[in-house]
Amino acid sequence: MKSRKGAAGKKTPPRKPKTRPPVAKKKPRAKILRHDTPVDPAPAAALGAFDPGAAAEQALARVRRIETIEGAYDAWSELRLEYSSLVRKLADERRQLDQQGEFLVGAVRAARDLSRTPTVAEALALAKPGSGLDDYLLQTAGRLEAARQQLEERSRAVEAAVGLAFAQIRDELRGRVLRTLQHVRPKLRLMIRSLGPESRILHVARLQPDEAVLLAWVLLEKLPSRYGYLFDDSTDQASLPTPTLYAEEGVAAGLVRPTVEQVTALMRGPHPVIPIKSVVPFFLPRTDGAPQLIRLVERGPVMEVEIGDVDTFRNVLSRDEAERVAGYFLRLKLEQRVEIELVNS
């Protein structure tokens, strides 16, 4: 573009071409479905991008990277949370498919004017090819069944991948606990309080988290399901005693406050993990009968010894019971499994 001369004969800069402001593109209108438009079953991808195999590998990689007992428990806890979240999503998807199946059955009942509610299989048998309604019913039922099969395949894949990872983490944790016990032993400071000539209360000084895991293995030969289990005094109902089990590892939500018999069965079970919470149970050997169930209960700065008595536990021990508990810990000291200090309070 050539420049122009002004009134004084000076050249003026060329004018910039005018530009129009950009015109906003109209957004396409969302497709509005009619109220009678059938909705296809949600695909399995709607469950999210969670890959159980990748999540399991990440948890195992973290266990190998952080070579501590606490690090292994942290990886285990994270994988457990991811697994629980996915299980809930799978359950929601299964419930959605069931609801769509019920709707299909209702549509068949309304279309055929049946006097009773048929099953999905009966609805398929009643649908005769030829009419548009029958074809729709057959196609929808087929899609529902395919979605249900995909969901079950996904569920099996999740259980296999995460179950294998859990087993590998437990094996690694067990190895770390055993290696640690070769040079570190739990230190128990047993404090004896007399309530008269024949009654005693036993307290054990508070342990460190690693020591609590080691003590659980020494007394139970099982892994606690959580790292800070002994120091967790949370409760789901303030009007009830603090739960002594977590609702995991096969323990139902209604059994988190177990009886003596239920704790005994759990301790004798084959499962390598025990979901104890704020307690450490163990069996006290007796020469005059079956072993007696004892537990250490976290009471703030100390743990209190309680003895299983029929269905409940009591903290006031006879002198003989207190001496047998102290003697058992002394025997563990002689076996170089714990360190112990006896103190009269």
pLDDT of 196-208, one tens digit each?
Answer: 889 999 999 999 9
Q: For helices 52-65 and 132-181, give the axis angle rounded to 10 degrees.
A: 10
β-sheet bridge partners, residue 281: 295
Among 2-6, 233-237, 339-343, name the most confident range: 339-343
| Predicted local confidence at residue 291, as pLDDT | 92
User: What angle is formed at CA 110 by the lines to CA 109 and CA 114, rounded to 5 degrees?
Assistant: 45
Per-residue pLDDT band for 40 (boundaries 50, 70, 90) equals very low
Range with the poorest average pLDDT among 28-37, 212-221, 289-298, 305-314: 28-37
What's residue 148's pLDDT? 84
Residue % of the chain over a pLDDT of 90: 46
Spell out where 26-185 has E strands.
none
What's the confidence (pLDDT) of residue 216?
97
Gap between the Cα atoms of 92 and 86, Å rounded: 10
Query: What's the pLDDT score for residue 153?
Result: 87
Residue 143 structure tokens: 């899609």
Q: How far is CA 45 from CA 151, 155, 222, in A?
A: 10, 13, 38
Q: Who has greater pLDDT, 287 or 294?
A: 294
pLDDT for residue 62: 83
Say if residue 36's pLDDT is above 50.
Answer: no
Q: Provide the 10 A C-beta neighbour count for residue 71.
A: 17
Asked if residue 303 has pLDDT above 80, the reply is yes
Alpha-carbon span 304 to 309, nearest angstrom: 15
Report whether 269 contacts 251 (CB < 8 A). Answer: no
pTM of the model: 0.73
Beta bridge partners of 223: 273
Q: Residue 64 pLDDT > 90, yes or no?
A: no
Please report the pLDDT score of residue 328 as a whole number: 96
pLDDT at position 21 is 57
Task: Give Cα 230 distance to the centre of its chain.
Answer: 18
* Confidence tier at 297 by pLDDT (50, 70, 90): very high
What Rg do the C-alpha atoms of the chain give, in angstroms?
34
Question: Could you read off the pLDDT of 169-188 as tens digits, one per residue?
Answer: 999 999 999 999 999 999 99
Please report, for residues 59, 243, 326, the alpha-carbon distance to residue 272 in angstroms, rounded to integers and kept in the order given: 20, 21, 27
pLDDT of 191 higher than 80: yes
* CB-CB contact of 86 with 128 (8 Å): no
Q: Output the pLDDT for position 151.
A: 85
pLDDT over 70 at 81, yes or no: yes
Q: Rounded distance, CA 209 to CA 70, Å? A: 8
Q: What pLDDT is stored for residue 66 in this prediction?
A: 82
Q: What is the pLDDT of residue 123?
A: 60
Cα–Cα distance, 170 to 162 (Å, whole number) = 12
DSSP 237: -
Mean pLDDT over all residues of the chain? 81
For Cα atoms 310, 316, 318, give the angle at the middle one, nearest 5 degrees: 85
The tokens of 277 are what?
Answer: 């919470």
Top mean-pLDDT range of 31-35, 44-48, 172-176: 172-176
pLDDT band at 220 (very low <50, low <70, confident <90, very high): very high
What is residue 34's predicted lDDT score, i.e. its pLDDT? 41
126 Ramachandran zone, left/alpha/beta (phi>0; psi -120 to 50): alpha
Q: Which of 45-49, 211-215, 309-313 has the highest mean pLDDT?
A: 211-215
State how far Cα 72 lies from the chain centre.
15
Distance linking the first and last C-alpha atoms of the chain: 103
- Decide which of 262 and 238 is more confident: 262
pLDDT at 128 over 70: no
Between CA 35 and CA 51 the distance in angstroms is: 36
Contacts of 337 (CB under 8 A, 6+ apart): 181, 185, 218
Q: Kindly report which listed range (34-38, 106-110, 150-154) carries the lowest average pLDDT score.
A: 34-38
CA distances from 188 to 109, 191, 219, 291, 326 (A): 71, 9, 13, 22, 11
Residue that the structure tokens 């983490």 belong to: 169
